[in-house]
Amino acid sequence: MALTLAEGAKLSNDVLLEGVIETVINDSPVLQRLPFVEIVGNGLTYNRENAAATAAFYGVGDTWAENTPTFTQITTALTILGGDADVDNYLARTRNNVQDLEAAVVTLKAKAVQRKFDDTFINGDTGIDTKSFDGVDKQCTAGQTASMGTNGATLTLAKLDEAIDLIRGGKPDILLMSRRTRRSLTSLARASGSGVVEQDRDEFGRMVQFYDGVPIGVNDYISDAKTVGTSSDCSTIYALQFGEGAVVGLTGPGGLTVDRVGSLETKDATRIRVKWYVALAIFNQLKLSRLVGVRP
């Protein structure tokens, strides 16, 4: 069963780990919603459907044609994401009455892990960094890509709807875009007077914007300087549907963990390690689409 990080944290009795997970999901709309499948081993092999089976009408005595779907076998390996945080023993003992130094240091490291995941979720490319995983931009196919034009263009609601309609089997669970694009969308909706952009509380109690009922998430690692044709100021909007059989995260046993490495030999400090065996799997490419060439 796939669980989000927030749901997984409820199963832990480690107060420090719960605090780390709360920090990680706080500023990441993806990690707030993306479910993770826990796997045993160093990766997962699954079949991705290429072409669906077909059916036809037949008359009495006709010869029936056999037709089966085709699949591509995909293997996704877990990657190792994390970092070490050293807590100086002198500062921890002499200044802990002002601030919980350990909690502060671990929180900063957790935020670094969150930012790295958010970046890789969008821009990950194993051709550039073999130790990472491929992000949604690389895994999105040409057939699931809508375009604002040869040289890009300013956003229109019709084009955004086109990208959303590329998702099959229901609406997307989130629309990911840059801050600039969100401002453009808000301004566009306000000018049209359509009311398709609304603001309400999500399941976490946070105020979130919705486009036609789909939550809008901001990812600061979606570039506003991509080149499309002759334009070098383009951005991208991603539509994703989460869950098993769609877009899902993969994690090793225990998920995100916090290890106390202990006292260091070379300096008077204690080391804490935040680590995560993690990857991204797209079981069905019809659950991911994008709109490219969005200009300001």
Query: Per DSSP, what are the bridge partners of residue 81?
Result: 276
pLDDT digit string (tens) for 123-176? 999 999 999 999 999 999 999 999 999 999 999 999 999 999 999 989 999 999
Domain shared by 265 and 196, yes or no? no
174 and 124 within one domain: no
User: What pLDDT shows up at residue 17?
Assistant: 65
Q: Are 151 and 186 within one domain?
A: yes
48-95 pLDDT, tens digit each: 877 778 899 999 999 999 888 888 899 999 999 999 999 888 888 887
Task: With respect to residue 67, please indicate whether it lies within any of the assigned structural domains.
Answer: no
Query: Does the residue 69 lie in any domain?
Result: no
**Domain count within the chain:** 2
Q: Which of 293, 262, 279, 249 is nearest to 79 (CA)?
A: 279
Which of 147, 200, 209, 151 is closest to 175 using CA atoms? 209
For residues 106 and 123, the answer to whether their CB atoms sit within 8 Å is: no
Q: Are residues 78 and 158 in the same domain?
A: no
Residue 109 belongs to what domain range?
A: 5-50+74-134+245-282
Q: Say if residue 152 is in the same domain as residue 289.
A: yes
Same domain, 19 and 113: yes
Average pLDDT over residues 239-261: 92
Calculate the average pLDDT of the chain.
Answer: 89
Query: Domain of 175: which CATH number?
Result: 3.30.1930.10
Q: Are residues 165 and 202 in the same domain?
A: yes
Co-location of 249 and 276 in the same domain: yes
Whether 66 is covered by a domain: the verdict is no
CATH no. for residue 91?
3.30.2400.20
Query: Residue 16 has what pLDDT?
Result: 63
211 vs 254, which has greater pLDDT?
211
Domain contains 59: no
Residue type, 271: R
Indicate if 176 and 153 belong to the same structural domain: yes
> What distance in Å separates the CA atoms of residue 23 and residue 172, rounded to the nearest whole number?
25
Ramachandran region of residue 285, left (φ > 0), alpha (ψ -120 to 50) or beta?
Answer: alpha
Same domain assignment for residues 253 and 128: yes
**Does residue 35 carry a pLDDT above 60?**
yes
Of 22, 14, 102, 44, nearest to 249 by C-alpha is 44
Check whether 230 has a pLDDT greater than 80.
Answer: yes
What would the pLDDT profile of 181-229 be if each residue is shown by its tens digit? 999 999 998 888 777 888 888 766 778 899 999 999 999 999 999 999 9
- Whether 101 shows a pLDDT value over 90: the answer reads no
* 144 and 32 co-located in one domain: no
